[in-house]
A and B are shown apart, each in its own frame.
Chain A
Amino acid sequence: MGEWGQRIRRLVLAAMIIALVVTSMSLTASPRVRVIRVSSWIASAVSPISFSLAWIGNKVGRGVSTLANLYAVEQENRILRAKLVRYNAMRLELSEVLADNGQLRSLLGLKQALGGWKLAPASVIARSPSTWFDTVVVDRGTSSGVRPGQAVIAPQGVVGRVVGASASTATVMLILDPRSGAGAIDARSQAAGVVSGANPVSGLLTFKLFSHRPNIDSGDAVVTSGYSQYYPKGLLIGQVTRVAKSQYGLTETATVRPSVDFNNLARVMIVLSHPGQAAVPPVFGGGRS
């Protein structure tokens, strides 16, 4: 009887643990501000050590990659010399284009739009401890005006959005995350859809298009549509690399290579506020949509 009682007690305990784990997982399957706030607090508490380790890691990583690249450098040097000749010719052409660009920018009044943007620069101090989720911790928090929902950008384009913040740190869900989801349009054809993370290893994004027969091609630039509450309109997301029909052939899905190099993401800018209907400064990929 005693042995049976103990067995039943163990079974009940195991069932309770399983139920607790399943409930917890189902409740936190999607990012929740309150839960992420707890993780932000923890990240905030350990941020001085994280920052130091990230700095050391950065130096170590650079040292390792320098050694690894030593053999490739000579070959690369030869290729670069050949390219240099071509680039010198292109430089003359480019100076002409730059002059035209400057005129166009002033014509469009984009300089004025740039003035209305309030950005907070931040450094990445840690990444998610789990391989499956693409989040990073940055060294700016609510004391700098950072709030959940704000977009995070880099000079190359969209990085992600803030999902949780403590006083001195914030958790940013990268656009690579499977649950990111950003409203996007093809800059050329204006075909609309949703971009989300598809594969953390390849670092590619999936662009699910709303239209049955969208006009979309490889090489097209994909920018934020402005339909989502998080991202301002016109931020560069990436470039289409492949277009394919979905499983049942009803919709088309494009594969997008993000414009931001997430492996070398060290500094980002958090969009604290931006003028409602203003176009995005061209340096962030705007001016095309």
Chain B
Amino acid sequence: MPASYRPLYWAIVFIFGLLVQTALLPQVFPAGYVPSVMVSLVVLLALYESPRRGLALGMLAGAMTDLLGGRLIGLNTATYGLLGYYVAKYQERFKHDQIFVPGLIGALSQLVVAIAQWMILNAVGYSLPWQVVATPLPYWILFGLLFTPAMGGILGIRPRVPSKSRRH
């Protein structure tokens, strides 16, 4: 029996994430160094979902981010959607635990998403230097490593059904 479909729960978690990202973190991190809370949340939720749901929740997180930002709508929708899809697709290859796997995937996702978005932005005419990604990247990776499992613990995100019964 597959886990229940909870788009409302995802939306509430993402609203919380967006508020933390736009109002709380800029007070702590300097401009240009603010890491992505949404990437960590997409990873956390997609870790226990099917690829189709991973894609859907990633796209939802991205669309909400794009709408709040009001610029280049589609950038986050596409990248977070693909992130959710691939995290959900390959999650069964890992032995699930509550700390290391979410932390490592969260850190790796910060790296991959940042580079992918930087490449897309340069392709659409924003000439952003590589330094924009390279300088804050260690902070983003460290944030992903620590924040992702911490958030999983706070929100109580863990497998809801045995992996064999999950629908693909």
Contact = CB atoms under 8 A, between A and B. Distances in A.
Interface of A: 20-22, 24-29, 31, 35-36, 38-40, 42-43, 46, 49-54, 56-58, 60-61, 64, 125-135, 137, 163-164, 171, 176, 178-179, 198-203, 262-263
B24 A203 contact: no
Interface in B122-163: 124-129, 131-132, 135-136
Given A24-B73, A61-B27, A201 B136 contact: yes
B69 A128 contact: yes
Given A39-B70, A57-B25, A171-B70, A201 B19 contact: no
A174 to B, nearest CB: 8
Contacts of A135: 69-71
Nearest to A53: B23
Interface string B71-102: 11111111000000000000000000000000
13 contacts: A25-B124, A50-B23, A57-B26, A131-B34, A131-B114, A132-B126, A135-B69, A135-B71, A176-B31, A178-B126, A199-B32, A200-B132, A201-B33
Q: 3 closest pairs, A vs B, by CB?
A: A57-B27, A39-B70, A53-B23
B2 to A, nearest CB: 20
Contacts of A29: 71-72, 124-125
Contacts of B25: 57
Contacts of A53: 19-20, 23-24
B75 to A, nearest CB: 6
B112 interface: no
A133 B131 CA distance: 15
B11 interface: no
A25 B73 contact: yes
B128 A21 contact: no
Of B34, B74, B127, B132, chain A has the most CB atoms within 10 Å of the CB of B74
B21 to A, nearest CB: 5
A129 B23 contact: no
- Interface size class, chain B: 35 or more
Given A26-B124, A49-B23, A200-B132, A31 B70 contact: yes
A179 B149 CA distance: 36
B38 interface: yes
A21 B81 CA distance: 11
Of A21, A38, A51, chain B has the most CB atoms within 10 Å of the CB of A21
Contacts of A28: 70-74
A262 B31 contact: yes
A31 B15 CA distance: 23
Contacts of B74: 20-22, 24-25, 28
Contacts of B71: 28-29, 31, 35-36, 128, 130, 133, 135
Nearest to B121: A132
Contacts of A134: 31
A42 B67 contact: yes
Contacts of A129: 18, 21-22, 38, 65, 68-69
Contacts of B68: 39, 42-43, 129
Given A50-B19, A53-B24, A58-B27, A132 B128 contact: yes
A201 to B, nearest CB: 4
Given A26-B124, A64-B28, A262-B31, A39 B67 contact: yes
Contact of A46 (B19, B75, B121): B19
Nearest to B28: A61
Contacts of B67: 38-39, 42
Contacts of B73: 24-25, 27-28, 35
Of A35, A128, A134, A179, chain B has the most CB atoms within 10 Å of the CB of A128
A25 B128 CA distance: 17
B77 A54 contact: no
A201 B38 contact: no
A139 to B, nearest CB: 12
A92 B124 CA distance: 56
Contacts of A40: 70
Contacts of B26: 54, 57, 126-127
Contacts of A36: 70-71
A39 B127 CA distance: 24
